[in-house]
Structure 1
Amino acid sequence: MTHPLPDRYLTPVDLADLLGVPVETVYQWRRKRTGPRGFRVGRHVRFDPEDVRAWVQCQIEEAA
């Protein structure tokens, strides 16, 4: 990731924008349990920036 992550929980739209993927891809990852760990706040899904960072790092390591 070329820019720092915000100091707040990310929405699926935030995550999609950050990674340059369609928001539906974020929801597919969640359904398949292959993306970064998310959690619910009521009916809203949020992602901890530290979990996103760890997931991205894992993807980089697996690709190497």
Structure 2
Amino acid sequence: MPELNWQKSTFSGGPEGECLYIATAPDGTIRLRESEAPGVILATEPQALAGLLHHARRPAQGNG
């Protein structure tokens, strides 16, 4: 596999903090990794990641 162009999330901590990195693979999938375990790489489809981010950004709904 060719070298991926990893970009640090803007929501990550400083250079020594816990960071999340994201890259797009040649096949169009999205790859995610953490600075604490750079050898562990998760792969997902862009639509699945967009759905997760959309859900995470929604305000919490109360139980009342």
Same fold (TM over 0.5): no
Q: For the pair shown, which has the larger CA radius of gyration, 1 or 2?
A: 2
Where is the helix percentage greater, Structure 1 or Structure 2?
1
Report 1 or 2 for greater relative contact order, CA contacts < 8 Å, sequence distance ≥ 6. 1
Give TM-score scaled by structure 2 length: 0.36
